[in-house]
A = this chain, B = another copy of it.
Amino acid sequence: MIIDCHGHYTTAPREHEEWRRHQVAAKGLVRQVPPPPAISDDAIRASIEQGQLRVQRERGTDLTIFSPKTAAMDHHAADSEANIRWAEICNTLICRICRMFPRSFVGVCQLPQAPGVPLVNCIPELERCVRELGFVGCNINPDPCGGYWTDPPLTDRWWYPLYERLVDLDLPGMIHVSSSCNPNFHATGAHYLNGDTTAFMQFLTSDLFDDFSNAQLHNSPWRWRGSLSLGPIPRIGAGEPRPLQKLLENVFFDTCVYHQPGTELLARVIPVENILFASEMIGAVRGLDPETGHHYDDTRCYIEAVPWLTDIDREMIFEGNARRVYPRLRSRLELQSRL
């Protein structure tokens, strides 16, 4: 079985994101926001069958851990109330997809974060997604300010109410920024990479995993790139280094690395136990690589082509590690396959 740990609903019907634009434009005046669009089952089915499901089949992957489009979370664009409503709508769409295609998709939720707003604000929607919708994880935006980084680091106690619920619920968090409203940062080319590098260094230089030894954080695509500085640099800053081992019990890296040399570096620097197969297909990096004729985001090819990986290594990357990092996956798969 091949589990793709990183997919977003990037092919949603147009009116979905259009509604968000109206909501943002209303600037908190709820009466100026139109009712959310009634998206039919047929429209959802078409968007998936011609989208992620088609690509799953073409590439021979089996299951996608699927969440709302992260670039559209834009937590910085509206207030907390609006972001709660937007997260509910996005997550409910994901749930409908998972129920329509129970063998192919399992849900991960968007949190209704907002700049400067305590994380406790996210708990009701998180609980709903896990207990009512059957989701197996959540996306955590390390910078809900969209490129200005004015909220506290992920390792600050500010975030603990969220982590406490994650640990209670046996739920991993995936570190994933949204779009950037700072003109300095290209969204996918800079803000995404920077977000992952920043989060990882926060983890490395903190006591977070003393406090949350069971927390599981799945770092988002490209994250590993920053991690390259870690392989060889355990001694950073003053004082004793945090043991890298501790970190590797809690932090995992996915394979959204869109070329062969990069994937091989990932496999050289990060232990196989910490690598999760992922493509983020139909995502930020589309199109054919003119050098190889492959789709950039057909990341299975790169893993298959790493010469020194054994069959056992590949099984861990493609399936075993995901089952370990996403503990709710097993029961969810059993349940969904009976739907």
Residues of B within 8 A of A237 (CB): 186-189
Q: Are B233 and A149 in contact (CB under 8 A)?
A: no
Contact at A226–B193, with CB atoms within 8 Å? yes
Pick from A49-57, A115-123, A163-171, A198-206 the stretch touching chain B: A198-206
Which residues of the other chain, B, contact A184 by a CB distance below 8 angstroms?
142-143, 149, 151-153, 198, 202
A248 within 8 A of B: no
**Interface status of A232 (Cβ within 8 A of chain B):** yes
| Complex contact A197–B188 (CB within 8 A) | no
Give the contacts of A187-228 with B (CB-CB under 8 A).
Answer: 187-190, 193-194, 197-198, 200-202, 204-205, 222, 225-226, 228
Copies of this subunit: 2
Shortest Cβ distance from A194 into chain B, in angstroms?
Answer: 4
Whether the Cβ atoms of B205 and A232 lie closer than 8 Å is: no
User: Could you tell me if B258 and A269 are in contact, using CB atoms closer than 8 angstroms?
Assistant: no
Please tell me if A261 contacts chain B, counting CB pairs below 8 Å: yes
Does residue A25 face the partner (Cβ distance < 8 Å to B)?
no
Chain A, interface SS category: loop
Number of A residues, CB within 8 Å of B: 57
Complex alpha-carbon distance, A190 and B197, angstroms: 6
Q: Is residue A235 within 8 Å, beta carbon to beta carbon, of the partner chain?
A: yes
Tell me if A39 is interfacial: C-beta within 8 Å of chain B.
no
Nearest B residue to A187, CB-CB: B237
A149-B185 contact in complex given A229-B225, A235-B287, A296-B232, C-beta closer than 8 Å: yes
A16 CB to nearest B CB, Å: 19
Q: Which of A183, A189, A233, A289 has the most CB of B within 10 A?
A: A189
Q: What B residues does A193 contact at CB under 8 A?
A: 194, 197, 226, 229
Is A147's CB within 8 Å of the partner chain B? yes
A335 proximal to B (CB < 8 A)? no
Complex Cα gap A204–B190 (Å) = 11
- Least CB distance from A248 to B in Å reads 16
A33 within 8 A of B: no
Checking B185, B226, B286 against A225 with a beta-carbon cut-off of 8 angstroms, the contacting residue is B226
CB distance from A63 to the nearest CB of B (A): 26
